[in-house]
Amino acid sequence: MKNLFSFILFLSFIICISQSKSQIISLSEAALELTHHKVTYDPSYFSIDYPNGDVPNDKGVCTDVIIRAYRKLGVDLQKEVHEDMKANFNAYPKIWGLKSTDKNIDHRRVPNLMTYFKRQGAEKPITNNPSDYKPGDVVCWDLKDAASHIGIVVNKKSNDGKRHLIVHNIGSGQVLEDCLFSFKIIGHYRFLN
């Protein structure tokens, strides 16, 4: 009887573990899910809640794709970036002339996300080899004229099967596109992936 009880307890444990593993979503899946939401590109400054604040769910820019995808994994980049910037303000870019942090916008700026990911040890090499970019990786590009852009590599391939596709928002909402090498890559990160 004791062995039967132990076996049932062990079996229950295994079932619970397998169920919880099946509920874990990847960053790639989270990003792909975002493409089903209609979002208008809107770079406006918004005053948002803290922590877990977000701009209106029908608005956003490229960084909001990253923020929303990580939030689906339980990571609040607004809070994480804000706390790291507050403690290490001089490590972050001074492009905007700020004298202190701003929890409403700091996490919504590509150079700040790049700095945060690098400070977390998530930086990966920038290469021209498509196989170096894995689903869940975050990629940043230079769009010229000092504009930077960010997106997530997902587990879907280009028509020729050579590259993973990207979920990003470059003006047309949260979309899935074959654009990994369309612009000059300036950042490649694998954070909690």
- Is 37 inside a domain boundary? yes
Number of domains in the chain: 1
- Is 20 inside a domain boundary? no
Residue 53: per-residue pLDDT: 97
- Is 70 inside a domain boundary? yes
- For strand 40-41 and strand 59-60, is the pairing parallel, antiparallel, or unpaired? parallel
* 160: region left, alpha or beta (phi > 0 left; psi from -120 to 50 alpha): alpha
pLDDT grade for 1, boundaries at 50, 70 and 90: low
- Is 19 inside a domain boundary? no
- Is 66 inside a domain boundary? yes
- Is 157 inside a domain boundary? yes
Q: ω into residue 56 within 30 of 0, thus cis?
A: no
- Is 7 inside a domain boundary? no
- Is 90 inside a domain boundary? yes
Residues 27-36, mean pLDDT to the nearest whole number: 98
User: What are the residues whose beta carbons fall under 8 Å from the beta carbon of 64, sequence distance 6 or more?
Assistant: 39, 54, 55, 108, 169
- Global pTM reads 0.87
pLDDT digits (tens, 9 = 90+) for 67-105: 999 999 999 999 999 999 999 999 999 988 889 999 999
Measure the CA angle with vertex 29, ends 28 and 35; round to 5°.
95
Looking up residue 78, the CATH number of its domain turns out to be 3.90.1720.10
Tokens 């587990």: give the residue.
155
Tokens 């062990």: give the residue.
10
pLDDT digits (tens, 9 = 90+) for 114-159: 999 999 999 999 999 999 999 999 999 999 887 999 999 999 999 9
Domain residues for the domain of 143 are 26-189
Residue 183: per-residue pLDDT: 96
